[in-house]
Chains A and B, each alone.
Chain A
Amino acid sequence: MKKAEENIFKVFMIIAALIIIGLLLFILGTIILKGVPALSWNMITKLPGGGFYLGREGGVLNAIVGSLYVIAGAVAISIVISLPLVMYINFYLPHKSPLAGIVRFSFDILLGVPSIVYGAFGFALMIFLGMRASLAGGIITVAMLITPIMMRSFDEATKLMPRDLPDSLLSLGSTKYEMIKVIMRQLMPGFVTAALLATGRGIGDAATVLFTAGYTDNLPGSLSQPAATLPLSIFFQLGSPVAEVQNRAYASALILTFLILILSFAARYFSSKFSRNRL
């Protein structure tokens, strides 16, 4: 009787686990099956031509480049904030300092704030500053979204680091600032993993850039011009009644998925070099 109960439970668990693996394969399979036939070299290398949204020729280079610009700017800002912050709460503040606890807690909450709220806040901020939808607006808003991700992930990696090296550096008379320069080398894999995670999240998010980065068929020439982004390009193309344009949405979705897969595997590679398995 007990044995039977145990076995039934086990079957349920294995079914649940298989469903989750199946879902991943189902999603990736759908995107690949729909995307590959519509994918062409022109999609990746051409800007939208005249009549692009009626199904005529062109590609989504504007969105690919725009997304890369936005994410590069956002990651740069995010590094400038999270790197000093993580060093400060881990090495400057005393162990179990309440300030460190408050900083971590507020970033945990920021981590949960939905991207649409950042989008709305970024939009309000831009109106307040008199800015229009632009590359700069997109960069700032995406930076808000990904900084908590980068900070918390890098912080977790830093917390795991053994304290022998920092302690011996300090005992040799180095200042804390000099010590950080040395131990950054050891923290590098954790830092790269955090940056890649944040990049993946930022590049795929549509709700933050919807209000703030705008959309254009051209490449952004300066920070004050609007920039197209890949997720928005997928969203707009999918909403079109023209079948050709919808197919291009699938191809764009495949491009985005491919980027995310590369980032995800790179992050996993760096973190496996660094720490014990997370699951």
Chain B
Amino acid sequence: MHRLRSIKERSARWFMRIIAYCSILFLIIIGIALFVKAFPAIKNNGLWELLTSARWRPSGGKFGFLPFIISTLYVSAIAIAIALPLSLLTAIYLNSYASKGIRRFFAPVIDLLSGIPPVIYGVWGTITIVPFIANYIAPHFSGQSSGYSVMAGGIVLAVMIIPLLVGLLVEIFNSIPKEMTDASFSLGATKLQTVKRVILRRSLPGIVAVTVLSVSRAFGETMAVLMVCGNSTLMPHSLLDACYPIPALIANNYGEMLSIPGYESALMLAAFLLFVIVFLFNGISRLTLNHLEKRFHF
């Protein structure tokens, strides 16, 4: 009886330990597998050439990623520029101004926004944002635009990262000890002064970390962006031009990539680049956030 218990206990422990080590290895395996797949493209074209050339002709063996990299940066920059101010204001409001009832009302709003699948955001974008840009915004500027554009991608992406930003920002603001804000109030500071001088200043590293985290989310978002960006392999020159971010490129070409030599490897390189960037961005911001958490909870 006693032996059976001990055997059960020990085998459970071993099983769990194996899973724990495997799960750490998994991250490394993804990186290595993508790199191995991407290596032929790097060997044939040279990494520098791949990253800085704007010529994209898969059938001619030319894989210049520059238009896609630029598109990714444009779309993500617009998304952050829209989402960050909105999220910051809302998070401050929820943390220091809103009543308990409003806070409770807001929690499911954020939950639902973050739960809506990318493809639904894409449908929404094509129904509303794309025609709006084509009919109302484009005519004021260059004139012709189908609406499938950098701007449409940026707006849809902004809405998608808002729940992530607000959720994390509220968590950071809430982790500031109440004694600190109370001390500020007792010195006669107004609420706004306390927000500016105590809350925002104390949580600046956290705000930066959360922003980096949401930038990396924006870099990797695929389906919604694919549906509203227009997917042109030419370099985008204005906000109203069609563009082609890296994830959309991978998703859109999976059908053809096996029939053209070198194509699959080039797309795997794109996936590898995404992986590396997300790994670095996430790693840095998570370390910062963990550090902050430790500092406040002792």
Which residues on A are within 8 Å of B, measured CB to CB? 2, 5-6, 9-10, 12-17, 19-21, 23-24, 26-28, 30-31, 34, 81, 84-85, 87-89, 92, 99, 102-103, 105-117, 119-121, 123-125, 128, 151, 175-178, 200-201, 203-207, 210-211, 231, 234-235, 238, 249-250, 253, 256-257, 260-261, 263-265, 267-268, 277-279
Q: When each residue 193-226 of chain B gets 1 if its CB lies under 8 Å from chain A and 0 otherwise, what string results? A: 0000000000000000000010011011111000
Query: Would A109 and B283 count as touching, CB distance under 8 A?
Result: yes
Question: Chain A contacts of B90 at CB under 8 A?
Answer: 13, 16-17, 20
Instruction: Give the 9 A-B CB pairs with smallest separation, nearest first.
Output: A114-B220, A204-B117, A88-B16, A16-B89, A120-B271, A13-B93, A112-B282, A279-B107, A207-B222
Query: Would B162 and A5 count as touching, CB distance under 8 A?
Result: no
Across the interface, A17 reaches (CB within 8 A) one of B33, B89, B278, namely B89
Query: Would A27 and B192 count as touching, CB distance under 8 A?
Result: no
Query: Would B94 and A178 count as touching, CB distance under 8 A?
Result: no
Query: Would B16 and A117 count as touching, CB distance under 8 A?
Result: no
Q: When each residue 262-285 of chain B gets 1 if its CB lies under 8 Å from chain A and 0 otherwise, what string results? A: 000001100100110011011100
Query: Would B223 and A124 count as touching, CB distance under 8 A?
Result: no
Query: Would A175 and B9 count as touching, CB distance under 8 A?
Result: yes
* A76 to B120 alpha-carbon distance, docked (Å): 25
* A235 to B282 alpha-carbon distance, docked (Å): 29
Query: Would B119 and A253 count as touching, CB distance under 8 A?
Result: yes
Question: Chain A contacts of B93 at CB under 8 A?
Answer: 13-14, 16-17
Known: A26-B128, A120-B250, A279-B167. 9 other contacts (CB 8 A): A6-B192, A17-B93, A23-B159, A112-B281, A175-B5, A211-B254, A234-B120, A250-B127, A267-B111
Across the interface, B19 reaches (CB within 8 A) one of A28, A84, A110, namely A84
B interface SS class: helix
> Is B187 in the interface zone, CB < 8 Å from A?
no
Question: Chain B contacts of A109 at CB under 8 A?
Answer: 27, 278-279, 282-283, 286
Q: Are A10 and B5 CB-contacts (below 8 A) given A88-B19, A89-B20, A103-B23?
A: no
* A116 to B92 alpha-carbon distance, docked (Å): 33
Query: Would A117 and B13 count as touching, CB distance under 8 A?
Result: no
Question: Chain A contacts of B251 at CB under 8 A?
Answer: 116, 119, 207, 210
Which residues on B are within 8 Å of A, measured CB to CB? 5-6, 8-9, 12-13, 15-17, 19-20, 23-24, 26-27, 30, 33-34, 37, 85-87, 89-90, 92-94, 97-98, 103-104, 106-113, 115-124, 126-128, 159, 162, 166-167, 170, 190-192, 213, 216-217, 219-223, 227, 247, 250-251, 254, 267-268, 271, 274-275, 278-279, 281-283, 286-287, 290
Q: Are A21 and B109 CB-contacts (below 8 A) given A125-B33, A235-B122?
A: yes
Query: Would A27 and B282 count as touching, CB distance under 8 A?
Result: no
Question: Chain B contacts of A24 at CB under 8 A?
Answer: 109, 112-113
Query: Would B104 and A277 count as touching, CB distance under 8 A?
Result: yes
Query: Would A279 and B110 count as touching, CB distance under 8 A?
Result: yes
Query: Would A115 and B111 count as touching, CB distance under 8 A?
Result: no
Residue among B87, B118, B222 having the largest count of chain A Cβ atoms under 10 Å = B222
Across the interface, A121 reaches (CB within 8 A) one of B220, B247, B271, namely B271
